[in-house]
């Protein structure tokens, strides 16, 4: 791999996956296309087992895809090249530190591999996260372990952070500490965050872009506010033989007697009129929360796959 030819360009993606596939015995990643813009916070949301971890590991070169190209910070990624990882901070829920050693040992170890290590900031983080440098990892609670791992990442100020469910299982206080610290990165427009979760609350507040993943496929990817603006739920009263108007992206969600609930993924003003003139009575037209959008998008994606 000749990485000397990979010159990072202005406004190049922070990370880009094209046509990436991977096959395991009971799971497949199916032609993943993902583009991460620099200077953004990107949420990757998907149910457990959807493939978020696999995608992130492929981005780190820890897993080799069957096909497709992966480029991170302008460089091709592979297990043979280590240089791209110099500017990336990777966190995974299943990462562990050496139990018999202290945080200080790990700090010294990581520091020896990263010229970008900022010792002053590391000390601040020890303080802010309430960690003791001399304490051995063995007795750590889940929250302390996560914070210690994040400290080791944040102190070297990576350009790209790839975080696989970092706030999973954290108590509200720890979660706040972690999010506040992660958000400081937003101050720097050259730094980027990719953050995955199976729950939308963790991600929706801080994300600029959201991507939904389910069963190894990208279901939808958009600017967060676009999602919130374009999805809408309608409650209609309609007789049994009522036919829904042919509006692109309009799907039934549930039916209860004459009550029909429908969702639309590309809302424009005037849709309510179309529904009214189709012979149904519009009871309400409401915005959807990101969680509701996620559930609707996933169920649509699964239906499509079956067809």
Partner 1 sequence: MHTHGWITLSQSDPRALYLQVIEQIQRRVAVGDLPPGTELPSIRQLAADLSVSVITIKRAYLELERYGTITTRQGKGSIVSDDPGLSTSIAERELESHLNEAAQLGSLLGLSKREMQRRMAEAYETSLGKKK
Partner 2 sequence: MNTQAIQILFLKDLFLSRWPMFGYLVGGLLSVMVTCLPGESAGFIGFILMITVTIAAGIHLIGALLLGESIDMTRTFIMSLPISLLDYSLAKISVVLVAFLIPWFGMLASLTIITFVAPEAKPGILPFLVLLFLFMLGGFCLQLFTAVVTESVGWTIVVLVLGNVTLNFFLKMLYEHPVISKLNKSEVLSWPPVVLQIIAIEAIVILAALGLTFMFQIRRKDLV
User: Phi-psi bin for 278: left (phi > 0), alpha (psi -120 to 50), beta?
Assistant: alpha
Paired with 75 in beta bridges are 72
Contacting residues toward partner 1, per CB under 8 A: 40-41, 176, 179-180, 183-189, 204-208, 223-225, 228, 282-284, 287, 289-290
Dist. CA 29–CA 224, nearest whole Å? 24
Within 13 Å of residue 147, how many CA atoms lie on the same side as its CB?
27
Instruction: Please choose which of partner 1, partner 2, none residue 62 contacts, taking the beta carbon within 5 to 8 angstroms, the exact cut-off set by kind.
Output: partner 2
Question: How many C-beta atoms lie closer than 10 Å to residue 101's C-beta?
Answer: 14
Structure tokens at 81: 């090249």
The residue among 263, 240, 161, 143 whose CA lies nearest residue 206 is 161
Token reading at 103: 């945080």
Q: 152, 107 in Cβ contact below 8 A?
A: yes
Q: Which residues pair with residue 196 across a beta bridge?
A: 44, 164
The listed partner (partner 2, partner 1, none) that binds 207, CB under 5 to 8 Å by sort, is: partner 1
Is the Cβ of residue 140 or residue 231 nearer to partner 1 in the bound state?
231
As measured in angstroms, the least distance from the Cβ of 261 to partner 2 is 43
Report the nearest approach of partner 2 to the CB of residue 115 (Å): 10
**Least distance between partner 2 and beta carbon 157 (Å):** 14
In terms of Cα–Cα distance, which of 7, 2, 157 is closest to 74?
A: 7
User: For residues 57 and 191, which CB has a smaller minimum distance to partner 1 in the complex?
Assistant: 191
Neighbour count for residue 190 (Cβ, 10 Å): 10
Cβ proximity to partner 2: between 164 and 204 the closer is 164
User: Residue 284 Cβ, how far from partner 1 at the closest point, in Å?
Assistant: 7
User: Which option in partner 1, partner 2, none does residue 264 bind, with CB closer than 5 to 8 A by kind?
Assistant: none
Q: Which of 203, 253, 265 is closest to 228 using CA atoms? A: 265
| Beta carbon nearer to partner 2, 112 or 269 | 112
Selection from partner 1, partner 2, none that 284 binds (CB < 5 to 8 A by kind) is partner 1
Neighbours of 95 (CB within 10 A): 12
Asked if residue 27 lies in contact with residue 16, where contact means CB atoms within 8 angstroms, the answer is no
Q: Which of partner 2, partner 1, none lies near 114, with the C-beta cut-off 5 to 8 A by kind?
A: partner 2
Residue among 62, 108, 119, 53 nearest 85 (CA) = 62
Question: In the bound complex, what is the minimum distance in angstroms from residue 264's beta carbon to partner 1?
Answer: 17
Provide the minimum distance between the beta carbon of 270 and partner 2 in the complex, in angstroms, as a whole number: 50
Binding region for partner 2 (CB under 8 A): 57, 60-64, 79-86, 88-92, 94-101, 109-110, 112-114, 149
Residue 113 contact, options partner 1, partner 2, none, Cβ 5-8 Å cut-off depending on partner type: partner 2
Least distance from partner 1 to the Cβ atom of residue 272, Å: 8
Which residue, 85 or 260, is less far from partner 2 as judged by CB? 85
């Amino acid at each position: 791999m000749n990485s000397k030819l990979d010159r990072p360009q202005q406004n190049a993606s922070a990370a880009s996956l094209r046509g990436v596939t991977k096959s395991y015995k009971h799971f497949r990643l199916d032609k993943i296309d993902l583009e991460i813009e620099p200077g953004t916070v990107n949420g990757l949301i998907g149910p457990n087992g959807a493939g978020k971890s696999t995608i992130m590991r492929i981005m780190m070169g820890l897993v080799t895809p069957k096909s497709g190209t992966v480029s991170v910070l302008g460089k091709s990624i592979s297990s043979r090249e280590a240089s791209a990882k110099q500017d990336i901070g990777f966190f995974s829920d299943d990462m562990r530190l050496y139990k018999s050693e202290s945080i200080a040992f790990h700090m010294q170890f990581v520091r020896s591999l990263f010229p970008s290590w900022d010792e002053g900031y590391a000390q601040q983080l020890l303080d802010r996260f309430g960690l003791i440098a001399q304490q051995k990892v063995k007795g750590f609670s889940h929250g302390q372990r996560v914070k210690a791992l994040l400290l080791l990442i944040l102190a070297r100020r990576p350009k790209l952070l790839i975080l696989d469910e970092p706030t999973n299982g954290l108590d509200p206080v720890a979660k706040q500490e972690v999010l506040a610290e992660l958000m400081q990165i937003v101050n720097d427009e050259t730094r980027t965050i990719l953050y995955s979760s199976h729950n939308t609350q963790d991600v929706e507040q801080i994300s600029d872009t959201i991507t939904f993943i389910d069963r190894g496929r990208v279901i939808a990817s958009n600017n967060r506010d676009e999602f919130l603006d374009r999805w809408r739920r309608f409650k209609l009263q309609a007789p049994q033989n009522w036919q829904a108007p042919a509006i692109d992206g309009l799907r039934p969600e549930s039916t209860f007697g004459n009550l029909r609930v429908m969702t639309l993924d590309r809302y424009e003003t005037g849709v309510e009129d179309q529904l009214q003139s189709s012979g149904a009575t519009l009871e309400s037209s409401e915005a959807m929360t990101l969680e509701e959008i996620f559930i609707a998008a996933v169920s649509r994606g699964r239906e499509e796959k079956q067809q």
